[in-house]
Structure 1
Amino acid sequence: MKVSQGDVVRNHMSIELILRKAVIQDLNNVVEIFKSTIRVMDDNGINQWDNVYPDEEVLRKDILKGQMFLGKIDDRIASVFVLNQEYNEEYKNGNWKYKNGSFIVVHRLCVNPIFQNQGVGKCSMMLIEKMLKKENIESIRLDAFSLNPVALKLYERSGYVRVGKANFRKGLFYLYEKKIY
């Protein structure tokens, strides 16, 4: 997948999010952002991630495979996400509307806690959609933890449609899909 380095999107708060592919030198910062995010999620009763997943090895592999992307604000990592065509066996439970078209799966969307509640998650999804439209990808698929109201609201307000359910280690997740092209 090609990435247009420097793709930019602005939100209603005039925050400018700039996209770039993660490199191995970003790993320590990415790991720290995930650890901080996990603490915030735990404080809010969202027990989705932990020291088992996503751990440093998972994040390292994402970078080495060239599948991790960073949204940056003022040269600081504001968001992290992974794009690929990999998915869990549980995705068979999805009533996917665009079965025969090209699709990408969004994994591990994480907003750095110092940038939360500023529309960075929405901006990240807008950047993803903008990038994938350039690649002629028809739809985006993802899963979201059923007990993460912030993520559910983000995806549903961004036009993602719930197409099924999956059970992972931490419990019930909803499967989502959006046609973008």
Structure 2
Amino acid sequence: MRKAKLNDLRNINNIVDDAKIALKDDGVDQWQNGSPDIMLLGRQISSENAFVYENDDKILAYAYLSEDYEPTYAAVMNIVKGSDAYTIHTFCVDSKEKGKGIASKFFDDIIAYAKENNKDSLRIDTHEDNFKMRGLISKMGFKELGQIYIKDAGMTKPRIAYELIL
């Protein structure tokens, strides 16, 4: 795992675009309204909190770790246990690399990075129908917090939030 650079943007955007197609093919109404788009990815990378997982200099996965207060998590803040967390956004794996354990390895690296940076928890959310991601999140030890609401193309949409205590 390493920090993403702006010259990685095209490769990252391709991975995200493939993930959008995979979600659509799975019948998941997530990432279907344009976001995340190349502008958002560029902002994430410029913040220096975006990461890629690579092997032999090939980017296999991408994620953004936010340290900011997440207003969308307000509905579950009374039950979160951690007080200094990263929130994982835009987590995706190259569709050509799925089934090889890359997502789990990337999560392991994110967990190690969070611990190295003295975080006490990680948070993530996903669409209730995104059973692949929900299964991965649970496998990695995250506990379900409950439902939160995000803004997606001007519409309020529910997501399931999770937390992992480190």
Report the counterpart of residue 81 of structure 2 in structure 1.
98
Structure 1 residue 86: deviation in Å? 2.7
Question: Which whole-Å CA distance do the structure 2 matches of 1:144 and 1:23 have between them?
Answer: 25
Whether the 8 Å CA contact 2:29–2:127 is kept in 1: the answer is no
Structure 1 residue 88: deviation in Å? 3.9
Report the counterpart of residue 46 of structure 1 in structure 2.
28
Say which of 138, 159, 163 aligns to 1:173. 159
Q: How does 1:23-62 map to 2 (within 5 A)?
A: 23-50=5-32, 52-62=34-44
Distance 1:107 1:176, change over 3 A: same
What SS does the aligned partner of 2:148 have? Answer: strand
Say which of 156, 164, 167 aligns to 2:146. 164
Aligned-CA RMSD value: 1.5
5+ residue gaps, structure 1: 1-18
Q: How does 1:14-25 map to 2 (within 5 A)?
A: 19-25=1-7
Structure 1 residue 91: deviation in Å? 0.4
Report the counterpart of residue 3 of structure 1 in structure 2.
none
Q: Which deviates the most, 170-179 or 115-124? A: 170-179
Question: Which whole-Å CA distance do the structure 2 matches of 1:51 and 1:171 have between them?
Answer: 12
Return the TM-score normalized by structure 1: 0.83
Report the counterpart of residue 131 of structure 2 in structure 1.
149
What SS does the aligned partner of 1:132 have? Answer: helix
Report the counterpart of residue 130 of structure 1 in structure 2.
112
What SS does the aligned partner of 1:105 have? Answer: strand
1:58-77 Cα offsets, whole Å, 9 max, x none, are: 00000111111000022211
1:67 matches 2:45: no
1:110-151 Cα offsets, whole Å, 9 max, x none, are: 111011121111111111001111112111111111110000
What amino acid sits opposite 1:62 in the alignment?
Q
1:71-122 Cα offsets, whole Å, 9 max, x none, are: 00222111100012235422011143325x3111111101110111211111
5+ residue gaps, structure 2: none
What amino acid sits opposite 1:157 in the alignment?
K
Q: Percent identity?
A: 25
Question: Which whole-Å CA distance do the structure 2 matches of 1:33 and 1:97 have between them?
Answer: 31
Q: How does 1:79-94 map to 2 (within 5 A)?
A: 79-94=61-76
Return the TM-score normalized by structure 2: 0.90
Say which of 103, 110, 115 aligns to 1:121. 103
Report the counterpart of residue 9 of structure 1 in structure 2.
none
Number of equivalenced pairs: 161
Distance 1:97 1:89, change over 3 A: closer
Distance 1:46 1:87, change over 3 A: farther
